[in-house]
Amino acid sequence: MRPSSVKRKKHWKANRLSLTVEENSWKQGKNTIKETKTALTGQKEQCEAGLVQVSEGESQISSSEEALSGQQAQLDELTSQKEALSSQAAELQAQYDAGVEAGKTEEELAELSTQIQTLNGQISAMEEQINAGQAQINGAQAELTAKKIRAGPDKELNWRAA
């Protein structure tokens, strides 16, 4: 064999070895890219699922706020009705007191007394409803506030930034 042919063979083997090393390195890089892409796809899916949860949570909070607003409006209406009954009771009491001063008999004042007692009973019942309703609203408001705090003011922005 000629010396130049031996040199060519060695050179060819060296080049082939170099190509094999580069090919293996390229395959490893390709596998790393695939693994990274798979991991990032998983993270993206988790983020998207998180966004859905945030959106659902915001929707629930919004619905709760609307419900609380409606309950507060009902409570305000009930309070207004109670105040009107209180005014009626005060007027009847003034009529009763005027009747006592005018010397009316118990029989004549009995109707006013009955009306006053009936109104006072209705007022007491309304006050109980108002107090119970306010306690319920306060509890729901505290729960809603806790949910908002747990979610954080920028939760949606944080998820989208991830």
pLDDT tens track for 108-154: 899 999 999 999 999 999 999 999 999 999 999 998 888 888 877 65
Environment class of 129 (CB within 10 Å of its CB; exposed 0-12, middle 13-18, buried 19+): middle
Query: Which residue, 124, 47, 14, 76, is CA-closest to 39?
Result: 47
**103-108: Cβ within 8 A, 24+ apart:** none
What sign does the CA torsion over 141, 147, 152, 156 have? negative
pLDDT tens track for 37-78: 888 888 889 988 888 888 888 888 888 889 899 999 999 999
106-151 and 3-102 are packed helices; what angle lies between their axes, rounded to 10 degrees? Answer: 170
pLDDT of 1: 59
Residue 97 has pLDDT above 90, yes or no: yes
Task: Specify whether the CB–CB gap between 148 and 61 falls below 8 A.
Answer: yes
